[in-house]
Amino acid sequence: MENKRQFKRILLKISGEFFQNKGKNLYSESLEHIISEIKTVYGMGVVVGVVVGGANIIRGAKDSKIRGLPQDELDELGMQATLINGSILSTCLKEKGIPNSVLSAIPVSSSIGELYNKVRMENLLSQNHMLIFVGGTGNPYFTTDTASVLRALQMNADVLLKATKVDGVFDKDPLTFKDAHLYKEITYKEVIDKGLEIMDLTAFSMAWHHNLLIIVFNATVSGNIEKVVKGEEIGTIIEGGNNG
Residues near ligand UDP (CB under 6 A) are 15-16, 53-55, 58-60, 74-75, 78-79, 81-82, 136-137, 139-140, 142-147
- Closer by beta carbon to ligand UDP, 75 or else 167: 75
**Helix or strand or coil: residue 115?**
strand
- Closer by beta carbon to ligand UDP, 40 or else 80: 80
- Closer by beta carbon to ligand UDP, 163 or else 229: 163
Q: Of 101, 96, 112, nearest to 50 (Cα)?
A: 101
- Cα separation, 83 vs 103, in Å, equals 10
CA geometry: angle 93, 94, 100, nearest 5 deg: 80
Phi, psi of 164, rounded to the nearest 5 degrees:
-135, 180
Q: At closest approach, how far in Å is the CB of 76 from ligand UDP?
A: 7
Q: At closest approach, how far in Å is the CB of 180 from ligand UDP?
A: 21
- Closer by beta carbon to ligand UDP, 22 or else 178: 22
- Closer by beta carbon to ligand UDP, 3 or else 143: 143
- Cα separation, 37 vs 222, in Å, equals 7
Q: At closest approach, how far in Å is the CB of 184 from ligand UDP?
A: 24
Q: At closest approach, how far in Å is the CB of 81 from ligand UDP?
A: 6
Longest CA pairwise span in the chain (Å): 50
Q: At closest approach, how far in Å is the CB of 13 from ligand UDP?
A: 7
Indicate the angle between helix axes 71-95 and 60-67, nearest 10 degrees.
130
